[in-house]
């Protein structure tokens, strides 16, 4: 092959290198919508222009025809790659199934077969001769029916389809995407002009300008990619996302004027007139805090309220922040409008429900306190007279009479304990229970807490063991009465559910600032599903009322609340049939 390179080819060589470099650059961003097909189109243009330059540099007709044939390998697929780019870039990528793309490739492949098959070649080229045009020796060809009826129509339909998809998308783009719009329109119009000049010989130029025009298209699209971030966020994606948002969005310029908005903004602000071009001062004139602010300089959030036309209150949360370019320069602002009416209504309902619950709880506490006080007076009389009868103060009683009196006394004392628990619960819930701290001996607390269980341990086959850590100080500060109540509650609970074995009460030094009370038993234990609410008021593990399980379910609840008042903590470790361990951790206050 003989080639003749002249200075006239230098601009064409430079123009041919451009699409090759662009294909590499765009391929690195192939994850962006349309970038993959745009990179392929640039690569096809690079090979097309390279083959065309070699055709121009060839000195013989046979060599020129060879490179002309090679160039059509890439020419045949270029319009399709442009169409595929346009389809994917305009958010129609779901159309591009393997079957459809495969069918679209059939015609370009058929064209290449026609060109390289001698029997079919006249369908594409009727004749090819040499002519001289300036410094160039060119092919002067006459095209056949396949070229005009199949290849040309297919190519122009591909180009036209790509343009239509882009224009449809461009029409919907907002103002801030105007740079993309201008450069894309320029880019897609150049090849049409160049191809028309070449085919219809509008100008006396015999060189095919189309591949070099596509280079300009590539430059224009790449400028849109780099300068206007076309492939970073496709404007059609903006339409799908922003236009479909339930929240209102306003885009502001540096003068705090609205340059773009979405339908939700009109709906939330109850606007029926065009807001584009309006200033924030006009738009938010009813809300001075917002109207007087420069929303492009700072970030912030405001809650506003206004009356809608239907008489309903509308609550909005308006957030704003600066809008910056890639150089972090402020170019405007963005305002989002969120409807919080339902949230406000829910908050109001919750507040009302909370107030009602607090009121009902306070009423319950007052009722419990009232009932407890009213019960205590007659109970005191019943217990007093029963004790007098038991002591033969009104005459000696026979065995049956004594048994009846003792039953009455036990029942009255049990009822008195329940009344005391109700009163404690009412005082705790109302915040009226106050701890009374004093110095006391730990040993006295141990003995007095366990003394009342001597009879119970004798009746049951249960041992009550006590352990006092010798490292604990002998005398500490605290509310001895309430501590005794806590221990009695836990030991009574352990005795109730332990038919045989051991109940142990331990008083331990945890560290320099804390001490611990541990009550353990070998009883029936607590099921895992009951542990979560074991400290709830009026809650019992076994809700069946029996002689062994009497009470109103306040003992453990009161114990927990008393421990909390003492700034301590309580926990339980248990499993069914394996006993239970209650641990109380309390601050250690040394006696003065």
3-state secondary structure of 553: coil
Query: Are the C-beta atoms of 341 and 349 separated by less than 8 Å?
Result: no
Residue spans per domain, the chain: 7-236, 243-339, 345-430, 438-587
Tell me the CATH number for domain 7-236. 1.20.1070
User: In this predicted structure, what is the pLDDT of residue 18?
Assistant: 79
User: In this predicted structure, what is the pLDDT of residue 179?
Assistant: 59
300-307, strands of its sheet edge to edge: 258-261, 248-252, 330-339, 313-324, 300-307
User: In this predicted structure, what is the pLDDT of residue 282?
Assistant: 85
- Within 10 angstroms of residue 507's Cβ, the number of other Cβ atoms is 19
User: In this predicted structure, what is the pLDDT of residue 546?
Assistant: 43
Secondary structure letter of residue 152 according to DSSP? I
Cα–Cα distance for residue pair 111/99, rounded to 1 Å: 20
User: In this predicted structure, what is the pLDDT of residue 134?
Assistant: 67
Query: Are the C-beta atoms of 213 and 202 separated by less than 8 Å?
Result: no
Q: What is the CA radius of gyration of the chain?
A: 46
Tell me the CATH number for domain 438-587. 3.30.565.10
User: In this predicted structure, what is the pLDDT of residue 66?
Assistant: 93
Secondary structure letter of residue 175 according to DSSP? G
User: In this predicted structure, what is the pLDDT of residue 544?
Assistant: 44
Topology given in CATH for the domain delimited by 345-430: Helix Hairpins (1.10.287)
Same fold for the domain at 345-430 and the one at 438-587?
Answer: no
Sign of the alpha-carbon dihedral angle for 111, 114, 120, 124: positive
Cα–Cα distance for residue pair 313/566, rounded to 1 Å: 48
Positions in the chain short of pLDDT 50: 233-234, 236, 543-549
Query: Are the C-beta atoms of 150 and 108 separated by less than 8 Å?
Result: no
pTM of the model: 0.47
Options 3.30.70.20, 3.40.718.10, 3.40.50.720, 3.30.450.20; which CATH number does 243-339 get?
A: 3.30.450.20
Q: DSSP labels for 2-26?
A: -B---GGGHHHHHHHHHHHHHHHHH
User: In this predicted structure, what is the pLDDT of residue 370?
Assistant: 66
Cα–Cα distance for residue pair 372/432, rounded to 1 Å: 15
């Amino acid at each position: 092959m003989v080639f003749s390179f002249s200075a006239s080819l230098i601009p064409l060589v430079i123009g041919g290198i451009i699409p090759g470099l662009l294909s590499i650059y765009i391929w690195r961003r192939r994850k962006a919508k349309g970038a993959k097909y745009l990179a392929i189109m640039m690569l096809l243009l690079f090979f097309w222009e390279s083959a065309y330059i070699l055709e121009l540099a060839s000195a013989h007709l046979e060599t020129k025809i060879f490179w002309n044939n090679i160039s059509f390998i890439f020419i045949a697929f270029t319009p399709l790659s442009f169409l595929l780019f346009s389809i994917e870039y305009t958010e129609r990528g779901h159309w591009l199934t393997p079957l459809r793309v495969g069918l679209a490739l059939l015609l370009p492949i058929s064209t290449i077969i026609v060109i390289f098959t001698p029997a079919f070649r006249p369908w594409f080229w009727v004749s090819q001769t040499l002519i001289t045009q300036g410094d160039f020796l060119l092919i002067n060809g006459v095209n056949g029916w396949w070229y005009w009826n199949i290849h040309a129509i297919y190519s122009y339909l591909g180009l036209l389809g790509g343009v239509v998809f882009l224009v449809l998308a461009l029409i919907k783009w907002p103002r801030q995407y105007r740079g993309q719009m201008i450069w894309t329109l320029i880019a897609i119009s150049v090849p049409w002009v160049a191809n028309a000049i070449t085919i219809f010989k509008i100008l006396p130029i015999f060189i095919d300008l189309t591949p070099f025009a596509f280079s300009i298209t590539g430059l224009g699209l790449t400028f849109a990619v780099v300068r206007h971030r076309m492939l970073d966020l496709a404007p059609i994606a903006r339409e799908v996302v922003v236009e479909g948002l339930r929240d209102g969005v306003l885009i502001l310029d540096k003068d705090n004027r609205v340059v773009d908005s979405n339908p939700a903004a009109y709906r939330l602000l109850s606007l029926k007139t065009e807001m584009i071009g309006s200033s924030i001062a006009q738009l938010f004139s009813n809300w001075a805090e917002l109207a007087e602010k420069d929303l492009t300089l700072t970030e912030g959030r405001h809650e506003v309220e206004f009356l809608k036309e239907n008489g309903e209150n509308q609550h909005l949360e308006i957030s704003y922040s600066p809008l910056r370019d890639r150089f972090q320069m402020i170019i405007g602002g963005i305002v989002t409008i969120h409807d919080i009416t339902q949230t406000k209504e829910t908050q109001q309902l919750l507040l009302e429900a909370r107030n009602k619950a607090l009121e009902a709880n306070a009423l319950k506490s007052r009722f419990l306190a009232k009932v407890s006080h009213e019960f205590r007076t007659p109970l005191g009389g019943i217990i007093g007279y029963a004790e007098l009868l038991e002591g033969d103060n009104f005459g000696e009683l026979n065995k049956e009479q004594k048994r009846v009196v003792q039953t009455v006394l036990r029942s009255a004392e049990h009822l008195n304990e329940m009344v005391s628990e109700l009163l404690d619960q009412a005082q705790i819930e109302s915040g009226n229970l106050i701890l009374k701290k004093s110095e006391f001996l730990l040993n006295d607390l141990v003995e007095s807490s366990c003394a009342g269980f001597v009879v119970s341990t004798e009746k049951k086959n249960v041992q009550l063991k006590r352990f006092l850590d010798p490292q604990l100080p002998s005398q500490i500060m605290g509310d001895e009465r309430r501590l005794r109540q806590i221990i009695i509650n836990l030991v009574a609970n352990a005795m109730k559910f332990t038919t045989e074995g051991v109940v142990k009460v331990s008083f331990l030094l945890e560290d320099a600032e804390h001490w611990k009370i541990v009550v353990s038993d070998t009883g029936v234990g607590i099921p895992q599903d009951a542990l979560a609410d074991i400290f709830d008021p009026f809650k019992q593990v076994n809700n069946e009322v029996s002689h062994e399980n009497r009470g109103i379910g306040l003992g453990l609840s009161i114990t927990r609340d008393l421990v909390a008042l003492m700034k301590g903590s309580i926990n339980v470790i248990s499993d069914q049939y394996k006993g239970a361990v209650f641990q109380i951790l309390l601050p250690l206050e040394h006696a003065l």
